[in-house]
Structure 1
Amino acid sequence: MADNREFDLVLFGATGFVGKLTAQYLIDAAPATARIALAGRSLDKLTTVRDELGPAAAGWGLVVADSGDQPALDALAAQTKVVVTTVGPYLRYGMPLVAACAKAGTHYADLTGEPLFIRDAIDGYQEQAVETGAKIVNSCGYDSIPSDLAVYLLYQRSVADNTGELEDTTMVAAIKGGASGGTIDSGRAMMEAIAADPKKGSVLGHPYSLSPDKSMDPDVGRQSDQALSRASAIDPSLDGWVSTFIMASHNTKIVRRTNGLLGWVYGKNFRYREVMNAGKSAAAPLVAAGISGGIVAGMAAGAVLSRVSLGRKLLDRVLPKPGTGPSEKARDSGWFTHKTFAHTTSGAKYVATFAAKGDPGYKATAVLLGESGLSLAFDTDKQPELAGILTPAAAMGDALTERLRAAGMTIEVARA
């Protein structure tokens, strides 16, 4: 990539809820010499956001571009080393920016939790991004950095200890926070896409639908994201019950894609799943069953309603709106803790802990996305020499881990 570009990092979608949070984070996290710009559809709104950020952002640039204006996005991508985008659902609005970055050799980070979007990006722009050296990195928020980096670090530890390849690996999530309007709208976008083309449903259902090479997919039998079991079945140290984790279907695909991008180094018998802690009370089994059943029922209802205009209007009325979010107090009171338990071929056991304060979908995600953008802009000498449509661990690995630890997140691996 040419080093004479005007900006180091452009934040696209800076006037949205998560965009503003990310901009606020960059004020303190970015180097003082970083050349940053805010981008969006309205110059007036961009100016207001920059003014609200205070004197530290006074020198930041402003770039006007719409997600549907390809020439404007091409110009944006050509101006900067890195684009960080919060403009979703990506399935509706994201592909023109991917195209622009792949063409210009510009690194890119987004927040997508949409396998359909990533599959389309792979099919459309993988080869071009490799040719230009662009790192197009998907899922750089709570979905899916904690999942992806935890397994990557477990792999590294098993190699360092010479304890063999990874086999059964399970992440157990405990969280305090709510689903964002953007996440829900992304789910709707995928349901609408499947309603228009039912063949796309296989991308959601197949565990290796984001694989870089179908012929190399491990043959480990059925893998399901649905869960309802005692936690002790995962590890004797756990108590209570676990249920389906709503983002498991996406995160597990990202982790498996990382394995493929790195040459299937996790192992030929690597199996991965994610579950959510449902508690220890007498009612925990009912809670777990309700969560699991509710997720399935909700997805089914959304799929049906998305097929007709009346159903889509009903969803518009009852679901949280994208671009909205909780109060600062609510964001500060949130948290997440992931425990990822892994077994290796030699019988060794490990547990990775990935934890952070702040609502996962908002405060923590602003940190994760912000540091991803900064890593792509300033850590190229510490990153793998991969390009194309990438995952966080495959693109940034150790460099991003170091940044997130420095930002206050807990990231540890221990032998159990």
Structure 2
Amino acid sequence: MAEVFGRTAVTAREFDLVLFGATGFVGGLTAEYIARSAPAGARIALAGRSADKLAAVRDALPGAGRDWQVIVVDASAPEELAKRAKVVVTTVGPYAKYGLPLVKACAEAGTHYADLTGEPQFIKECIDKFHDVAVSTGAKIVNACGYDSVPSDLNVYEIYRKSIADQTGELESATLVASIKGGLSGGTVASMRELMADMADDPKVRKVMGDPYSLSADRSLEADLPEPRATLAPASSIDPSLKGWVATFMMGPGNSKIVRRSNGLLGWAYGKHLRYYEVMSTGESLASPLIAAGITGGMVAGFLGGPILAKFGVGRKLMEKVAPKPGTGPSAESRENGWFTSQTFARTSSGAKYVATMSAQGDPGYKATSVMLGESGLSLAFDALSGAAGILTPATAMGSSLTDRLRKAGFTIEIKRSA
């Protein structure tokens, strides 16, 4: 296992934080959030390909955001950008297509980095190519700092900390139950389409997607416990307090890989034999089991047929026709009316039970994600964090500093011992 603690990254930079991709849909929401939340005197800039579009975003920001500098940079040549910033936050995706040059530049420059990718094949390539480089320079390269996968990662991390304080043993099982109301943006659909095409073309990508431990800190040291491929079950089978039914959660496989990577980077502190899984609640109505069956069946069909559909021209054109266009997303009203609740039910080796709950008002993929990504960048820029370096996760890079920030930002985050 590669060392994950490197020397402290260089901090004497022109900017505390640069937001790359500010003219995109989520980028604009993140810029607005950071403008409202950054400490006084923070040195922040917006970066992207078009000076005019960046200026338009900046001029619409509240407060000190209107004074931020704009930097024109291409995604293929971000080296100078990385050298000028203490932290780079990026929303430029699909990351597998556009993201690697920036990760490379930040790793080599000792610059901290945060993104909101939900693309495991991209994270795997980052690990293989740049983990050791980032360790040597002290750079914290943090993937999945949005709804992918902050609730999943921090819930388990905080349960682990509570179990340590209670001296109740290692975690043996943890299941997240997701309840959400939200929409899709063009960028999210583009990333999904790119992933499906990669799965069709590249057996290595299919292997990454199919292996629950593909992002592990050391694959050879994993217990290699099997992961369920599809779920259709009464919610009470997870915990007696739950009602209704649960189904396969589309984001579960990717989130699970992040949680397992956190465990490995921490030396399997959660537990060497932890079984982790995620499901989605379909409510308590009489139609709940039918909805659950439909979701699970649709997910299985999508996993099997999606790569083929995305590979061929007619399939790609169909997906492009029905999907939101790049740079677009849910309306302001829809973003405000969205919400999410992530409940993680865990059991330790002593039989103790815990439940961690993270919830927030706002579309999980957009309003809530802009908060999570924004606070991740601000934490990397301004908090006193551990010396961990390399290709990290939210839990191993920011840990409870991010938990505290999200609470202050209005998130509900509770960890309770239930037995």
Which secondary structure state, in structure 2, belongs to the residue aligned with residue 123 of structure 1?
helix
**Given that residues 148 and 254 in structure 1 are in contact (C-alpha distance below 8 angstroms), is that contact kept between their aligned partners in structure 2?**
yes
Question: Letter of the aligned partner of 1:146 in structure 2?
Answer: P
Q: Distance in 1 between matches of 2:319 and 2:184?
A: 15
Q: Distance in 1 between matches of 2:88 and 2:406?
A: 19
Instruction: Find 1:317's aligned residue among 321, 324, 347.
Output: 321
Q: Distance in 2 between matches of 1:262 and 1:293?
A: 36
Instruction: Find 1:27's aligned residue among 17, 27, 35.
Output: 35
Structure 1 residue aligned with 2:223 = 218
Q: Distance in 2 between matches of 1:400 and 1:54?
A: 23
Structure 2 residue aligned with 1:408 = 410
Structure 2 residue aligned with 1:39 = 47
Q: Distance in 2 between matches of 1:395 and 1:280?
A: 37
Question: Letter of the aligned partner of 2:394 in structure 1?
Answer: P
Assess, with a 3 A threshold, how the Cα gap between structure 1 residues 188 and 156 changes in structure 2: closer, same or farther: same
**Given that residues 225 and 273 in structure 1 are in contact (C-alpha distance below 8 angstroms), is that contact kept between their aligned partners in structure 2?**
no
Q: Distance in 2 between matches of 1:83 and 1:207?
A: 29
1:334-367 per-position Cα deviation (integer Å, ceiling 9, x unaligned): 1111111000110111100100010001100000
Which is worse superposed, 278-287 or 4-13?
278-287
Q: Distance in 1 between matches of 2:395 and 2:307?
A: 32
1:169 maps to 2:174: yes
Structure 2 residue aligned with 1:277 = 281
1:366 maps to 2:370: yes
**Given that residues 182 and 363 in structure 2 are in contact (C-alpha distance below 8 angstroms), is that contact kept between their aligned partners in structure 1?**
yes
TM-superposed CA distance for 1:286, in Å, is 1.0
Which secondary structure state, in structure 2, belongs to the residue aligned with residue 294 of structure 1?
helix
Indicate the RMSD between aligned Cα atoms, in angstroms: 1.1
Equivalent positions of 1:77-88 (< 5 A) are 77-88=82-93
Equivalent positions of 1:373-412 (< 5 A) are 373-379=377-383, 381=384, 383-412=385-414
Q: Distance in 1 between matches of 2:382 and 2:161?
A: 23
**Given that residues 371 and 404 in structure 1 are in contact (C-alpha distance below 8 angstroms), is that contact kept between their aligned partners in structure 2?**
yes
**Given that residues 225 and 274 in structure 1 are in contact (C-alpha distance below 8 angstroms), is that contact kept between their aligned partners in structure 2?**
no
Q: Distance in 1 between matches of 2:171 and 2:216?
A: 18
Q: Distance in 2 between matches of 1:407 and 1:55?
A: 18
Identity over aligned pairs, percent: 63
Which secondary structure state, in structure 2, belongs to the residue aligned with residue 385 of structure 1?
coil
Structure 1 residue aligned with 2:346 = 342
In the alignment, structure 1 segments of 5+ residues that lack a partner are none
Instruction: Find 1:11's aligned residue among 19, 22, 43.
Output: 19
Instruction: Find 1:65's aligned residue among 69, 73, 78.
Output: 73
Instruction: Find 1:178's aligned residue among 178, 183, 201.
Output: 183
Q: Distance in 2 between matches of 1:285 and 1:54?
A: 46
**Given that residues 376 and 396 in structure 1 are in contact (C-alpha distance below 8 angstroms), is that contact kept between their aligned partners in structure 2?**
yes
In the alignment, structure 2 segments of 5+ residues that lack a partner are 1-8
TM-superposed CA distance for 1:36, in Å, is 0.3
**Given that residues 153 and 262 in structure 2 are in contact (C-alpha distance below 8 angstroms), is that contact kept between their aligned partners in structure 1?**
yes
1:255-289 per-position Cα deviation (integer Å, ceiling 9, x unaligned): 00000000001112210000011112222111100
TM-superposed CA distance for 1:403, in Å, is 0.6
Which is worse superposed, 29-38 or 299-308?
299-308
Which secondary structure state, in structure 2, belongs to the residue aligned with residue 169 of structure 1?
strand
1:89-148 per-position Cα deviation (integer Å, ceiling 9, x unaligned): 101111111011011110000010000000001011111111111100000001100000
TM-superposed CA distance for 1:308, in Å, is 1.8
Question: Letter of the aligned partner of 1:148 in structure 2?
Answer: D
* TM-score with structure 1 setting the length: 0.96
* TM-score with structure 2 setting the length: 0.96
Q: Distance in 2 between matches of 1:225 and 1:167?
A: 20
Which is worse superposed, 396-405 or 297-306?
297-306
**Given that residues 225 and 248 in structure 1 are in contact (C-alpha distance below 8 angstroms), is that contact kept between their aligned partners in structure 2?**
no
Which secondary structure state, in structure 2, belongs to the residue aligned with residue 306 of structure 1?
helix
**Given that residues 207 and 252 in structure 1 are in contact (C-alpha distance below 8 angstroms), is that contact kept between their aligned partners in structure 2?**
yes
**Given that residues 8 and 34 in structure 1 are in contact (C-alpha distance below 8 angstroms), is that contact kept between their aligned partners in structure 2?**
yes
Structure 1 residue aligned with 2:3 = none
Question: Letter of the aligned partner of 2:264 in structure 1?
Answer: G
Equivalent positions of 1:106-121 (< 5 A) are 106-121=111-126
Structure 2 residue aligned with 1:233 = 237
Question: Letter of the aligned partner of 2:178 in structure 1?
Answer: A
TM-superposed CA distance for 1:4, in Å, is 2.4
Q: Distance in 2 between matches of 1:391 and 1:2?
A: 20
Instruction: Find 1:201's aligned residue among 200, 203, 206.
Output: 206
Question: Letter of the aligned partner of 1:195 in structure 2?
Answer: A
Structure 1 residue aligned with 2:194 = 189
Q: Distance in 1 between matches of 2:164 and 2:326?
A: 42
Which secondary structure state, in structure 1, belongs to the residue aligned with residue 67 of structure 2?
coil
TM-superposed CA distance for 1:321, in Å, is 2.1
Q: Distance in 2 between matches of 1:55 and 1:352?
A: 35
Structure 1 residue aligned with 2:144 = 139
Structure 2 residue aligned with 1:151 = 156
Question: Letter of the aligned partner of 1:387 in structure 2?
Answer: A
Which secondary structure state, in structure 1, belongs to the residue aligned with residue 360 of structure 2?
strand
Question: Letter of the aligned partner of 2:388 in structure 1?
Answer: L
Q: Distance in 2 between matches of 1:363 and 1:143?
A: 13
Structure 2 residue aligned with 1:305 = 309
1:126 maps to 2:128: no
**Given that residues 384 and 397 in structure 1 are in contact (C-alpha distance below 8 angstroms), is that contact kept between their aligned partners in structure 2?**
no
Structure 1 residue aligned with 2:331 = 327
**Given that residues 182 and 323 in structure 1 are in contact (C-alpha distance below 8 angstroms), is that contact kept between their aligned partners in structure 2?**
yes
